[in-house]
Amino acid sequence: MAFIAMAGGSAVAQGYTSIHYDIGIPLGNTSDQITKGSFRGVGLDYRKAINTNFAAGFSLGWQVFYQRNDYATYTGTIGDKTVDLTGVQYNYLNAIPLHGNIGYYLGDPDNTIRPFIGLGIGTTYFERRVEMGLYVNEINAWQFSIQPEAGFIYELSDSMGAFVGAKYTQGFTTDKLDGQSYISINVGFAWKLN
Amino acid sequence: MLAGCHPGGAEFVDEVDLVLTTHQNTYDFGTANTFSMPDKIPVVTGSLLEGEEIEYLEAPKAELILDQIMSNMESRGYVYVEDAADADLVILPATISTTTIVTYCDYWGDYWGWYYPYYGGCYYPSAYAYTTGSVLIQMIENDNSTAVVNVWGAAVNGLLQGSDASIASRVQKGIDQAFAQSAYIKTN
């Protein structure tokens, strides 16, 4: 049975649910604070077939970025005074994307490998946190975000397949936080819906 | 709103040490040649009442801080004078310590109690405390006017944890760092 197909002669639609381990690569404003990749990520996708090539659903995820900056000096100004602060800095970004998605599945539904491209539109919750000494600066913001994606499902059995993909999450600037962005590489499994 | 994941973080006491300095951009430190300091360091308690005596830091600890400041200033070409009235710059160190107590609940249990709220509540209340200390250094331009112009300030902050020797070492390192990030403090 194929991933994303319509059962012949009936109105029963198929689709899949996938759970995957995500590796995050910071970009843009996110990489201004954290350049190190994230190996702490997880995602869940739900897709219901509209026809043999299109499916719609939603995606959830959680990606944790962390970077320790060694003892260093940071300089700023307040009025006519220059301020220098030295210490070890711990940077964190927690990203929780929530998107409604639509995807296009290429090729024949009966193929073992089913590539896809898709677009998610929704919101991402970002928690950006900086710790220096015993002091914490934390910004929490919901940002409107888009999430284009691409990947493929490799059918392993009648009920499941291996899931490989990549998602680009782009949040848009709010008055609290500059737009954050990152790419996640997704590796996991997909289970067919009946 | 939502709780985040915060892996890693500080593992050792010295990883939370901070050094802050600030200076007047318009002041030329090269125009000064001499400096003065008191021989005692007050402890800021925040609760001193009129008529009460000022509390001072114990002499050995005060000497350590004063010697470190003296060493840094002299290495930059400034000459120490005893009488503050004769000095171009007056340095005023002070210290402050704060103890923070954090209470939290390890287990909210379902049990009946004699007192409100009678059912439920914190079964294992827990607490921990930590003390932080700061060395504050003010550098004032002594232009013999009534106005007090603070041309440079420094704060060395950290946890007061560990042996006296390790704390002393971190304080010395912090004072050295305060001057290291203030390369503009030097005579012409």
- Give me the pLDDT at residue A3, please: 73
Contact B94, B100 (CB under 8 A): no
Q: Name which of A4-13, A113-122, A134-143 the model is least confident about.
A: A4-13
| Assigned domain for B34 exists | yes
Q: Which residue has the tokens 């995807």?
A: A103
Q: What is the CATH number of the domain that holds A24?
A: 2.40.160.20
Higher per-residue pLDDT: A1 or A110: A110
Of all residues in chain B, the one with the smallest CA distance to A139 is B1
Is A80 an interface residue toward B (CB < 8 Å)? Answer: yes
How many distinct structural domains can be found in chain A? 1
Q: What integer is the mean pLDDT of A130-142?
A: 94
Structural domain of residue B146, as residue ranges?
14-99+130-180
| Assigned domain for B123 exists | no
- Give me the pLDDT at residue A11, please: 36
- Give me the pLDDT at residue B3, please: 65
Q: Which of the residues B1, B5, B131 would you substitute to probe the A interface, choosing the one with the greatest number of A C-beta atoms within 10 Å?
A: B5
The span from the CA of B110 to the CA of B121, in Å, is 7
| Assigned domain for B29 exists | yes
Q: What is the pTM of this model?
A: 0.84
- Give me the pLDDT at residue B9, please: 85
Is A29 an interface residue toward B (CB < 8 Å)? Answer: no
- Give me the pLDDT at residue B161, please: 83
| Assigned domain for A1 exists | no
Q: Provide the residue type at B22 as one letter.
A: T
- Give me the pLDDT at residue A40, please: 96
| Assigned domain for B142 exists | yes
At A4-38, the pLDDT tens digits run: 765 443 333 489 999 999 999 999 999 999 999 99
At B60-118, the pLDDT tens digits run: 999 999 999 999 999 999 999 999 889 999 999 999 988 888 887 766 555 566 666 66
At A155-177, the pLDDT tens digits run: 999 889 999 999 999 999 999 99
Chain A residues with CB under 8 Å of B181 CB are 73, 84, 86
| Assigned domain for B186 exists | no
How many distinct structural domains can be found in chain B? 1
- Give me the pLDDT at residue B107, please: 60
At B117-166, the pLDDT tens digits run: 666 666 667 777 788 899 999 999 987 666 678 899 999 999 888 888 99
The span from the CA of A160 to the CA of A193, in Å, is 9
| Assigned domain for B110 exists | no
| Assigned domain for A8 exists | no
| Assigned domain for A124 exists | yes
**Is A82 in Cβ contact with B23 (below 8 Å)?**
yes
Chain A residues with CB under 8 Å of B19 CB are 85-87
Distance from CA of A89 to the nearest CA of B (A): 9
Contact B119, B110 (CB under 8 A): yes
The span from the CA of B54 to the CA of A52, in Å, is 83
| Assigned domain for A5 exists | no
The span from the CA of A115 to the CA of B150, in Å, is 67
| Assigned domain for B112 exists | no
Nearest to A92 by CA among A139, A151, A157: A139
Q: Which of the residues B11, B14, B15 would you substitute to probe the A interface, choosing the one with the greatest number of A C-beta atoms within 10 Å?
A: B15
- Give me the pLDDT at residue A193, please: 86
- Give me the pLDDT at residue A12, please: 39
Q: Write out the H or E segment, with its range, that includes residue B175.
A: helix B164-180
- Give me the pLDDT at residue B104, please: 76
| Assigned domain for A103 exists | yes
| Assigned domain for A3 exists | no
Q: Name which of A102-111, A136-145, B39-48, B59-68 the model is least confident about.
A: B39-48
User: What is the per-residue DSSP string for A48-80?
Assistant: EESSSSEEEEEEEEEEEEEEEEEEEEEEEEETT
| Assigned domain for B5 exists | no
Q: What is the CATH number of the domain that holds B64?
A: 3.30.160.670
Nearest to A107 by CA among A116, A119, A95: A116
Provide the Cα torsion A148, A149, A150, A156; round to 10°. -160
Distances (CA, A) of B70 to B38, B63, B67: 11, 10, 5
- Give me the pLDDT at residue B186, please: 93
| Assigned domain for A140 exists | yes
**Is A134 in Cβ contact with B16 (below 8 Å)?**
yes
Chain A residues with CB under 8 Å of B22 CB are 78, 81-84
Interface of A with B in 134-193 (CB under 8 A): 134-135, 140
Contact A48, A13 (CB under 8 A): yes
Reduce the secondary structure of B55-107 to three states and give it as a string: CECCHHHHHHHHHHHHHHHHHCCCEECCCHHHCCEEEEEEEEEEEEEEEEECC
Contact A97, A147 (CB under 8 A): yes
Higher per-residue pLDDT: A41 or B55: A41
The token pair that represents B153 in the structure block: 């300030």
Distance from CA of A153 to the nearest CA of B (A): 30
Reduce the secondary structure of B120-168 to three states and give it as a string: CCECCEEEEEEEEEEEEEEEEECCCCCCCEEEEEEEEEEECCCCHHHHH
Structural domain of residue A63, as residue ranges?
15-193
Does the pLDDT value for residue A127 go beyond 70?
Answer: yes
Interface of B with A (CB under 8 A): 1-2, 4-10, 15-26, 132, 157-159, 177, 181-182
Does the pLDDT value for residue A140 go beyond 70?
Answer: yes
- Helices B164-180 and B59-75 pack at an angle, to 10 degrees, of 30
At residue A149's C-alpha, the angle toward residues A145 and A152, to 5°, is 155
Chain B residues with CB under 8 Å of A90 CB are 8-10
Is A70 an interface residue toward B (CB < 8 Å)? Answer: no
Does the pLDDT value for residue B15 go beyond 80?
Answer: yes
Q: Which residue has the tokens 């220098």?
A: A84
